Amino acid sequence: MQDLHTEIDSNVKQALVEDIGAGDLTASLIPGDKELSASVVSREDAVLCGVQWFEACFLALSSDTTVHWFAKDGDTVQAGYKLCEIKGQARALLSAERSALNFLQMLSAVATQTKYFVDAINGTQAVIVDTRKTLPGLRLAQKYAVKCGGGINHRFGLYDGILIKENHIIAAGGITAALRKAQEIVPPGGFIQIEVESLQELQEALTAGAGMVLLDNFTLAQLSDAVALARQQTGDQVLLEASGNMTLENVRQVAETGVDRISIGSLTKNIRAIDLSMRFSGVKEKF
């Protein structure tokens, strides 16, 4: 996994280049020595996330920018809450504004959505897990946001774990053959998980020594049967993960079947940005 600070620098550089290009034409209307202050307010209840990305956008254009926060990543804030105050060189603040807000709105949205699911299964043994269904180039950022919302990260990419899905099983010659090959090649510290689509496939995976099983698109009744089967044969030795068509309306019922994890792609791919407002004013005093 790439270092978070390195990833933030990369994300911010790409965002600013994309937005500013050869130069911010509109910001050039403002005198170069003018300073401004601004505040950011959340217009809705949310879980804050993206503080480091937000700050990095302004600092990349002017190292003299100062940001004073009234909340931190992972905090739940109410509609109308002032998140931060900013002061700095006017052109830098205006040029970085959109990119900074894009990161803060998007990552807060992921954290907020994750928190909804985490709260929905509170009191069960299950945890909420993310997937690789992330926005291209922003996987580490979005997985960080999932953690801020109380969720758990699955593998970060194809390099840090083996997840044997339907097409891998077909290509490898079956569940047993795929698991045996995976057991030969898994790196130290890596994990092996296999996807099954029926109780019959689950039984084959258990017989072949699976330690992590992804129960794909099982009904609630099938999930309960799968948990009973796995516990009867292996105790608590096999980790069971439910996936497919998870919503806030059904996720608690899924958790109550006894599965260990529930993976949800919509945490990172179906995102509605949190509504944030950034308002500027003249500089009056230091923070």
Mean pLDDT of each 10-residue bin along the chain, 287 residues long: 87 98 94 94 98 98 97 98 97 97 98 98 98 96 98 94 96 96 91 97 97 97 98 95 96 98 97 95 59
- Give pLDDT, residue 287: 45
Residue keyed to tokens 């998870």: 246
What pLDDT is attached to residue 284?
Answer: 56
Show the tokens assigned to 190: 């890596």
**Degrees (nearest 5) of the Cα angle 110, 13, 38?**
70
**Domains in the chain, CATH or no CATH each:** 4-117+272-282 (3.90.1170.20), 123-269 (3.20.20.70)
Residues 6+ apart with CB under 8 A from 79: 42, 43, 44, 45
Q: In terms of C-beta density within 10 A (0-12 exposed, 13-18 middle, 19 or more buried), how is residue 25 classed?
A: exposed
Q: Secondary structure of the chain: what % helix, strand, coil (to 5)?
A: 45, 20, 40
Q: What is the pLDDT of residue 3?
A: 87
Instruction: Give the per-residue pLDDT at 86.
Output: 97
Residues recorded for the chain: 287
- The pLDDT of residue 2: 65
State residue 243's pLDDT score: 97
| pLDDT of amino acid 188 | 87
Catalytic site positions: 98, 133, 165, 195, 216
